């Protein structure tokens, strides 16, 4: 498996890959892991989190795909299966590494199964309305797993042995790089209670009011794509396949229509409440309970009940 | 600087009803009866280039924008719209193949076009299409051409004739990089990027320019080995809370369902 | 002496209680306009006087009390139910108006399947009513595009018409009895009967009054059997509108009553049917509805009639029926539209008119020509005909423009009203009507005298008789004179 040591939540990544490995690749040879990490901080990688005995570290100044690929492909074998995470970087290097080694790749994979003819994989297609099964025929198989599948704590006691590969050099086509705005540790993904604002929320102020409500219930605010695209909330609040995948105990959607690509972002919620003016909105059938009303009066009343306790 | 924007025209999949998600024996889903539109990430890229062009005046760079799509003549109206918006060249690679799941083939066609042209400096595209969701084309294109690639672009700004300033979203946060050409840029979720609308006068003046149509020599697209398609059922109980007023419904919601969960 | 805002509010609270009198600033702002000022609405800019209050009435008695209070104190009342109006009918044009919202009067009082009538209070949403009836095997037959939002009171007040009118008629054909409250508090009930000739049909003082004469509190409309299993769709592609109008006329004159008969011009067709219609073509659509024998005969009859027009090429009816399913305009569509307008500064509006067969093509053609010539920043100009009669048809103009260098407050002058002016001028020139079914509202009230000609005397006298204190939705139908 290939891990990204730059991500704020390294442990989560390991648990996700561990889960996938347990589900679908348990019977295969014990894995080795390649970790891309920050140059100078190799010591900081928490090796205990890695569900593999053999570890190779590829140090790099920052996560630069071309630099990493050059070193990564030298560590990879033709016959193998490589599991990557679901981050932007992982998707990119999975596909490109496979291309360089004349293998096959797939991103957003939900399931794999090795058969005689090759590797069968399942992933979402048609804006997440359907699940497709493909047969990949050429190894190495570079599989970037889907977001939100599951986590399995790493409880391996065997010793790890670590090797540091040659460092990845930043190529010269990049003249400058500034990191502005660091991503905070995953909060939306961990939220136990979520209020999600959709385009029916109407404007920035109402979205902010919903954020206040989310704070009252000690939860977080998420938004659907139209809200983020319109800059009524920061892009980080985006929930869905191209944003954050959540699994709260309680999710209240407000003015959300419920298209599949968004819905997957809340699908694992224990309990979904939908508030929408339109009784034909797709979210209604995908919610546990629904209120068909303009949200403002409902939310004001609800807010009061919550305050009174 | 010559910039090529590769885009796809897709059906509006959110218009399909529950019962429409059926695959036939060839694993095709009938989407012929709903309207088409720009693939959303491609639309962002198209608008991003127009914004770049708007900014170019102070920078002493001329941006020559061209657009490429692969499909049949139903795509032509989109290409004409791009002409009306100020794109200088619009090209269609005529292809009737099932292109849903063959990123390698699509990347190959683009690479071939770029190779034939010989003067393209930047290629920009959306990160994936609504139907195939492969998420591979820009990466495979980078490998085929041997050009650098930057993904998740949210804004492009001029610098000079040799490079571009690109703002992106990465796993670590928002990053601004200056990259030398040639390069490939791909676009994910970028705020404020709906495509502007051309006036009728611009359509009359500019929209009638000829579209270059190219044929594909090898019509056999190597697919990704699609075996099966099935619809996903997300349905839950969908109980609708009744009441005489919004306030009453909120009360029922709180008392019966939320109190215990908060 | 005019009452102050506070006095108006306390007067209303005495009548209705404070829970039914809303003075929340945001609600008041949103209640000062309707979708006529779409761009202002989307940008949340409010140029009309903000009303003193929005009140929710729960009974005819409460309506009467509020009207008497308003009449005694010369307070402008704006009646409202679904808030889906698009011609300014809901604008609170006078300072310190009061919006009287009937949406809480939402009871279906009686479904009478023997007499084939249903009686509702004014706040019954049409979508809910019709869904409920359909489950029982009936329908009102009324299906305007605003169906997901509109309520019965408003639908009658605006003389609305639905997508299946060619078979079922407009609301004026569907209405049976009514109840309305007049400014002096007089409550008038008109009983439910199939027809009578005991003087003029007084229902038509109420139907279409747009809140300028009275407040509608209860309506009874006809019921029809709901037989969707017999629906037949037909679609054709053709080259030009003139032929299209000829084809529509031929079908109507021959005596067929399809439930839908529509003709789309190339621009409008491009927005709806580009996935199966080549650029530059017109589209003709028919639907037959009703008992199986009739729908079959209607479809066959229309088919053979259209076959005589060489220009018309048939399309797969499935494409038409699927398209039709997605046509209505509900909260989701409005929310999405708002986002797109704010992002692209491109906005789409409609204005609909009518004319006899001999002038409708000229109206269509000259309107499009003039608008393209005289209005800046147009991105689309076209339309469709959707309601045909033996003697003519309507024309529903659809137009989009970019809002360029123009603050929201100015948009209506720079673009929307200019376009309406051109349309009205051309229609009046050719002898058509400037309003087919959206209502005169406040948007086109300025042309009321030209529209009516000498018959304006009848309208004017009614207004003076029923609303001598000028409290009913001033500015609607008859413009306010400064």
Q: Per the CB < 8 Å rule, is B241 touching A290?
A: yes
DSSP C349-371: EEEEEEEEHHHHHHHHHHHHHHH
Domains present along chain C, CATH in parentheses = 5-103 (3.30.43.10), 117-225 (3.30.465.10), 228-325 (3.30.70.3450), 331-455 (3.30.300.330)
Helix (H, G, I), strand (E, B) or coil at A194: strand
Helix, strand, coil fractions of chain B, as percent rounded to 5 = 35, 30, 40
Q: Between residues A157 and A248, which one has the greater pLDDT?
A: A248
ipTM above 0.90, yes or no: yes
Give A85→chain B minimum CA distance, Å: 12
Distance between CA atoms of residues C382 and C270, nearest Å = 10
Contact A150, A163 (CB under 8 A): no
- A-facing residues of B in 112-171 (CB < 8 A) are 130-136, 139-140, 142-144, 148-149, 151-152, 154, 163, 169-171
Contact C264, C283 (CB under 8 A): yes
Report the residue from C104, C323, C344 with minimal CB separation from B197: C344
Give A202→chain C minimum CA distance, Å: 7
C9: confidence class by pLDDT, cuts 50, 70, 90: very high
Contact C446, C479 (CB under 8 A): yes
Q: What is the pLDDT of residues C52-84, one digit of tens each?
A: 999 999 999 999 999 999 999 999 999 999 999
Report the residue from C44, C332, C336 with minimal CB separation from A203: C44
Nearest CA in chain B to A8: B172
Q: Does residue A184 carry a pLDDT above 70? A: no
Q: What is the mean pLDDT of residues C119-136?
A: 95
Q: Look up tokens 């009230």; give the residue.
A: C445
Q: What is the mean pLDDT of residues C369-392?
A: 97
Q: Which residue in C22, C43, C130, C335 has the most chain A C-beta atoms within 10 A of its own C-beta, making it the best mutation to test that interface?
A: C335
Q: Per the CB < 8 Å rule, is C275 touching B199?
A: no
* Low-confidence winner among A229-238, B35-44, B138-147 (lowest mean pLDDT): A229-238
Helix (H, G, I), strand (E, B) or coil at C404: coil
Q: Per the CB < 8 Å rule, is A108 touching B232?
A: no
DSSP for residue C95: T
Distance between CA atoms of residues B102 and C338, nearest Å = 36
Q: Look up tokens 């599948």; give the residue.
A: A149
CA distances from C313 to B106, C119, C234, C333 (A): 35, 44, 11, 32
Contact C170, C160 (CB under 8 A): yes
Q: Look up tokens 């003819």; give the residue.
A: A117
Torsion, Cα C427 C428 C433 C437, to 10 degrees, reads: 60
Contacts with C263 (C-beta within 8 Å, 6 or more apart), sequence order: C241, C244, C245, C247, C248, C282, C283, C284, C285, C384, C385
**C188 backbone dihedrals φ, ψ, rounded to 5°:** -115, 125
A308: confidence class by pLDDT, cuts 50, 70, 90: confident
Residue B223, pLDDT score: 62
Whole-angstrom Cα Rg for chain B: 22
Contact C57, C16 (CB under 8 A): yes
Residue A171, pLDDT score: 93
Give C153→chain B minimum CA distance, Å: 19
Residue A186, pLDDT score: 60
Q: Per the CB < 8 Å rule, is C274 touching B194?
A: no
Does the bond joining C186 to the residue before it have cis omega, within 30 degrees of 0?
A: no
Give A11→chain B minimum CA distance, Å: 15
Contacts B245 to A, Cβ<8 Å: 297
Contact C359, C430 (CB under 8 A): yes
Residue A193, pLDDT score: 95
Q: Per the CB < 8 Å rule, is A173 touching B179?
A: yes
Q: What is the pLDDT of residues C437-450, one digit of tens each?
A: 999 999 999 999 99
Residue A130, pLDDT score: 95
Q: What is the pLDDT of residues A119-142, one digit of tens each?
A: 999 999 999 999 999 999 998 999
Percent of chain B residues past pLDDT 90, beyond the cut:
80
Closest CA to C285 of C255, C247, C229: C247
Buried b / exposed e over B171-204, threshold 16 CB at 10 Å, is bbebbbbbbbbbbbbbbbbbbebbbbbbbbebbe
Distance between CA atoms of residues A289 and C375, nearest Å = 49
Residue A91's DSSP bridge partners are none
Report yes or no: A138 at the B interface, CB cutoff 8 Å: no
Report the residue from A200, A229, A230 with minimal CB separation from C331: A200
Residue C216's DSSP bridge partners are C180
Closest CA to C84 of C101, C68, C61: C101
Q: What is the mean pLDDT of residues A255-276?
A: 93
CB-defined contacts A:B, below 8 A: 250
Q: Does residue B222 carry a pLDDT above 70? A: no
Q: What is the mean pLDDT of residues A189-207?
A: 93
Q: Mean pLDDT of all residues in chain B?
A: 93
Give A55→chain B minimum CA distance, Å: 22
Q: Does residue B127 carry a pLDDT above 70? A: yes
Q: Does residue C328 carry a pLDDT above 80? A: no
Closest CA to A14 of A48, A39, A44: A48
Report the residue from B14, B131, B142 with minimal CB separation from A125: B131
Nearest CA in chain B to A292: B240
Q: Per the CB < 8 Å rule, is C339 touching A200?
A: no
Q: How far is CA A52 from the centre of its chain?
A: 21
Closest CA to A77 of A45, A120, A34, A114: A34
Distance between CA atoms of residues C328 and B15, nearest Å = 13
Nearest CA in chain A to C339: A230
Greatest distance between any 2 Cα atoms in chain C: 70
Closest CA to B168 of B179, B183, B155: B155
CA distances from C329 to C143, C260, C283, C334 (A): 11, 18, 21, 7
Distance between CA atoms of residues C101 and A294, nearest Å = 15
Distance between CA atoms of residues A213 and A206, nearest Å = 11
CA distances from A217 to A254, A272, B254 (A): 15, 15, 12
Q: Per the CB < 8 Å rule, is A259 touching B262?
A: no
DSSP C36-70: GGHHHHHHT---SPPPSEEEE--SHHHHHHHHHHH
Token couple for B109: 């066609």
Q: Does residue B218 carry a pLDDT above 70? A: no
Token couple for B41: 């990430």
Report yes or no: B17 at the A interface, CB cutoff 8 Å: no
Contacts A257 to C, Cβ<8 Å: 332
Residue B221, pLDDT score: 63
Q: Per the CB < 8 Å rule, is B228 touching A133?
A: yes
Contacts C405 to B, Cβ<8 Å: none
Q: What is the pLDDT of residues A46-103, one digit of tens each?
A: 888 888 888 999 999 999 999 999 999 999 987 789 999 999 999 999 999 999 999 9
- Touching subunits for chain B (3+ Cβ pairs under 8 A): A, C
Q: Mean pLDDT of all residues in chain A?
A: 91
- B-facing residues of A in 242-281 (CB < 8 A) are 242-243, 249-250, 257, 259-260, 263, 267, 271-273, 279
Q: Per the CB < 8 Å rule, is A278 touching C148?
A: yes
Q: Does residue A309 carry a pLDDT above 80? A: no
CA distances from C308 to C282, C324, C389 (A): 17, 26, 21
First-to-last alpha carbon distance for chain C, in angstroms, is 19
Task: Pick B2-221's CATH classification: 3.30.200.20, 3.40.50.620, 3.40.225.10, 2.30.30.50.
Answer: 3.40.50.620
DSSP for residue A168: B
C367: confidence class by pLDDT, cuts 50, 70, 90: very high
CB-defined contacts B:C, below 8 A: 54
Burial class of C203 by CB neighbour count within 10 A (0 to 12, 13 to 18, 19+): middle
Does the bond joining A140 to the residue before it have cis omega, within 30 degrees of 0?
A: yes
**C54 backbone dihedrals φ, ψ, rounded to 5°:** -115, 125
Nearest CA in chain C to A295: C331
- Residues comprising chain B, all counted: 262
Q: Does residue A249 carry a pLDDT above 90? A: yes
Closest CA to C273 of C337, C320, C330: C320
Q: Does residue C26 carry a pLDDT above 80? A: yes
- Taking any CB pair shorter than 8 Å as contact, residues of chain B touching chain C are 11, 15, 17, 32-36, 74, 76-77, 192, 194-201, 245
Distance between CA atoms of residues A88 and B173, nearest Å = 11
Report the residue from A127, A133, A175 with minimal CB separation from B13: A127
Distance between CA atoms of residues B130 and B31, nearest Å = 13
Contacts B247 to C, Cβ<8 Å: none
CB-defined contacts A:C, below 8 A: 35
Q: Look up tokens 């009066």; give the residue.
A: A297
Residue C466, pLDDT score: 98
Contacts C402 to B, Cβ<8 Å: 196-197, 199
- Touching subunits for chain A (3+ Cβ pairs under 8 A): B, C
Distance between CA atoms of residues C193 and A238, nearest Å = 58
Please report, for chain B, the start and end positions of each structural domain, with discontinuous segments joined by +. 2-221
Q: Look up tokens 């590769």; give the residue.
A: B6
DSSP A269-308: -SEEEEEES-TT-GGGGGSSEEEES-HHHHHHHHHHHHHH
Contacts C336 to A, Cβ<8 Å: 199, 226
Q: Per the CB < 8 Å rule, is A284 touching B139?
A: no
Give A113→chain C minimum CA distance, Å: 39
Distance between CA atoms of residues B61 and B156, nearest Å = 14
Contact C255, C294 (CB under 8 A): no
Token couple for A278: 């339109």
- A-facing residues of B in 177-196 (CB < 8 A) are 177-180, 183, 188-194
- Taking any CB pair shorter than 8 Å as contact, residues of chain C touching chain B are 104, 270, 272-276, 279, 318-319, 322-323, 325-326, 340, 343-346, 372, 377-381, 400-402
Report the residue from B77, B197, B201 with minimal CB separation from C279: B77
Q: Does residue A31 carry a pLDDT above 90? A: no
Q: What is the pLDDT of residues C129-164, one digit of tens each?
A: 999 999 999 999 999 999 989 999 999 999 999 999
Helix (H, G, I), strand (E, B) or coil at C225: strand
pTM exceeds cut of 0.80: yes
Report yes or no: A202 at the C interface, CB cutoff 8 Å: yes
- Residues comprising chain A, all counted: 309
Angle between helices A65-75 and A88-100 (to 10 degrees): 50
Q: What is the mean pLDDT of residues A265-275?
A: 95
- Touching subunits for chain C (3+ Cβ pairs under 8 A): A, B
Q: Look up tokens 């009516």; give the residue.
A: C452
Q: Look up tokens 């409008």; give the residue.
A: C268
Contact B111, B145 (CB under 8 A): yes
Give A215→chain C minimum CA distance, Å: 23
Helix (H, G, I), strand (E, B) or coil at A104: strand
DSSP for residue C78: E
Distance between CA atoms of residues A307 and A284, nearest Å = 27
Q: What is the mean pLDDT of residues C86-102?
A: 97
Helix (H, G, I), strand (E, B) or coil at A45: coil
Distance between CA atoms of residues C261 and C407, nearest Å = 40
Contacts with C271 (C-beta within 8 Å, 6 or more apart), sequence order: C380, C398
Determine if residue A212 is left, alpha or beta; phi over 0 gives left, psi from -120 to 50 gives alpha, anything else beta: alpha
């Amino acid at each position: 498996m290939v891990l990204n040591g730059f991500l704020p939540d390294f442990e989560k990544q390991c648990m996700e890959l561990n889960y996938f490995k347990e589900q679908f690749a348990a019977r295969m040879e014990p894995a080795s892991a390649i970790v891309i990490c920050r140059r100078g901080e190799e010591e900081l990688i928490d090796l205990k989190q890695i569900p593999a005995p053999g570890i190779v570290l590829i140090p790099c100044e920052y996560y630069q795909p071309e630099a990493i690929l050059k070193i990564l492909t030298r560590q990879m074998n033709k016959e193998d299966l490589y599991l990557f995470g679901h981050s932007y970087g992982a998707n990119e290097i999975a596909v490109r590494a496979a291309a360089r080694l004349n293998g096959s790749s797939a991103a957003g994979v939900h399931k794999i199964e090795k058969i005689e003819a090759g590797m069968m994989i399942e992933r979402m297609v048609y804006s997440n309305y359907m699940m497709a099964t493909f047969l990949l025929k050429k190894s190495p198989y570079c599989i970037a797993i889907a977001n939100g599948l599951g986590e399995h704590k790493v409880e391996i006691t065997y010793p790890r042995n670590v090797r540091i590969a040659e460092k990845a050099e930043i190529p010269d086509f990049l003249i400058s790089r500034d990191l502005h705005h660091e991503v905070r540790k995953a909060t939306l993904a961990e939220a136990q209670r979520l209020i999600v604002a959709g385009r029916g929320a109407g404007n920035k102020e109402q979205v902010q009011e919903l954020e206040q409500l989310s704070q009252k219930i000690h939860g977080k605010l998420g938004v659907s794509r139209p809200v983020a695209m319109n800059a009524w909330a920061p892009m980080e609040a985006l929930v869905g396949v191209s944003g954050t995948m959540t699994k709260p105990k309680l999710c209240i959607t407000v003015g959300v229509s419920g298209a599949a690509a968004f819905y997957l972002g809340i699908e694992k919620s224990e309990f979904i409440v939908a508030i929408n003016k339109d009784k034909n909105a797709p979210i209604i059938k995908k919610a546990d309970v629904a209120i068909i009303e303009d949200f403002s009066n409902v939310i004001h009343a609800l807010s009061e009940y919550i305050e009174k306790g | 600087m010559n910039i090529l924007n590769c885009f796809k025209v897709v059906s509006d999949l959110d218009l399909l009803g529950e019962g429409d998600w059926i695959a036939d024996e060839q694993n095709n889903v009938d989407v012929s009866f709903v309207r088409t539109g720009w693939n959303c990430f491609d639309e962002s890229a198209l608008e991003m280039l127009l914004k770049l062009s708007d900014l170019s005046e102070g920078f002493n760079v001329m941006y020559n924008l061209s657009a490429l799509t692969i499909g049949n003549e139903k795509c032509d109206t989109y290409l004409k719209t791009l002409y009306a918006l100020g794109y200088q060249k619009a090209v269609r690679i005529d292809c009737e193949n099932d292109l849903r799941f063959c990123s390698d083939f699509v990347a190959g066609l683009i690479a071939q076009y770029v190779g034939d042209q010989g003067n393209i400096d930047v290629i920009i595209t959306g990160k994936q299409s609504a139907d195939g969701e492969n998420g591979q084309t820009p990466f495979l294109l980078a490998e085929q051409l041997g050009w650098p690639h930057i993904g998740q672009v949210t804004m492009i700004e001029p610098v000079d004739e040799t490079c571009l300033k690109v703002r992106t979203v990465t796993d670590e946060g928002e990053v601004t990089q200056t990259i030398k050409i040639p390069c490939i840029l791909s676009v994910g979720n970028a705020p404020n990027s709906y495509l502007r609308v051309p006036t009728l006068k611009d359509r009359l003046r500019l929209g009638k320019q000829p579209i270059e149509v190219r044929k594909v020599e090898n019509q056999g697209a190597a697919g990704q080995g699609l075996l099966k398609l099935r619809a996903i059922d997300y349905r839950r109980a969908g109980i609708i809370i009744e009441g005489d007023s919004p306030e009453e419904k909120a009360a029922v919601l709180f008392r019966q369902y939320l109190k215990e969960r908060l | 002496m005019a009452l102050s805002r506070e006095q108006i509010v306390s007067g209303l609270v005495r009548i209705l209680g404070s829970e039914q009198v809303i003075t929340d600033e945001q609600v008041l702002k949103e209640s000062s306009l309707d979708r006529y000022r779409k761009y202002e609405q989307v940008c949340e800019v409010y140029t009309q006087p903000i009303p003193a209050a929005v009140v929710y009435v729960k009974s005819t008695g409460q309506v009467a009390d509020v009207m008497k209070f308003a009449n005694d104190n010369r307070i402008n009342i704006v009646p409202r139910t679904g808030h889906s109006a698009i011609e300014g009918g809901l604008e609170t044009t006078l300072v310190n108006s009061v919006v009287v919202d009937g949406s809480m009067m939402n009871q279906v009082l009686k479904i009478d399947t023997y007499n084939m009538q249903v009686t509702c209070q004014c706040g019954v949403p049409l979508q809910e009513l019709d869904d409920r009836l359909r489950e029982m095997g009936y329908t009102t037959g009324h299906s305007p595009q605003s169906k997901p939002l509109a309520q019965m009171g408003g639908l009658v007040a605006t003389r609305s018409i639905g997508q299946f009118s060619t078979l079922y008629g407009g609301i004026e054909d569907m209405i049976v009895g009514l109840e309305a409250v007049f400014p002096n508090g007089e409550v008038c009930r008109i009983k439910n009967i199939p027809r009578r000739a005991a003087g003029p049909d007084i229902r038509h003082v109420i139907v279409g009054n747009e809140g300028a004469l009275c407040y509608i509190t209860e309506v009874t409309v006809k019921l029809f059997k709901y037989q969707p299993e017999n629906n037949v769709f037909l679609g054709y592609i053709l080259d030009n509108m003139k032929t299209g109008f000829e084809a529509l006329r031929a079908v109507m004159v021959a005596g067929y009553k399809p439930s839908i008969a529509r003709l789309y011009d190339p621009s409008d067709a491009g927005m709806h049917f580009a996935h199966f219609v080549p650029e530059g073509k017109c589209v003709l659509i028919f639907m037959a509805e009703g008992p199986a024998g009739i729908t079959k005969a209607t479809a066959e009859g229309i088919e053979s009639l259209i076959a005589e027009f060489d220009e018309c090429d048939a399309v797969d009816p499935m494409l038409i029926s699927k398209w039709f399913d997605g046509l209505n305009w509900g909260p989701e569509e409005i929310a999405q539209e708002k986002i797109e307008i704010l992002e692209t500064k491109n906005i789409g509006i409609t204005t609909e008119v009518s004319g006899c067969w001999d002038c409708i093509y000229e109206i269509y053609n000259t309107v499009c020509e003039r608008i393209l010539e005289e209005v800046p920043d147009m991105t689309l100009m076209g339309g469709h005909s959707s309601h045909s009669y033996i003697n003519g048809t309507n024309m529903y103009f659809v137009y989009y423009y970019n809002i360029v260098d123009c603050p929201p407050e100015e948009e209506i002058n720079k673009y929307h009203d200019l376009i309406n002016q051109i349309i009205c001028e051309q229609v009046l020139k050719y002898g058509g009507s400037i309003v087919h079914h959206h209502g005169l509202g406040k948007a086109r009230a300025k042309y009321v005298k030209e529209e009516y000609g000498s018959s304006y005397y009848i309208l004017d006298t009614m207004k003076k008789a029923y609303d001598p204190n000028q409290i009913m939705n001033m500015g609607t139908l008859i413009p306010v004179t400064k």
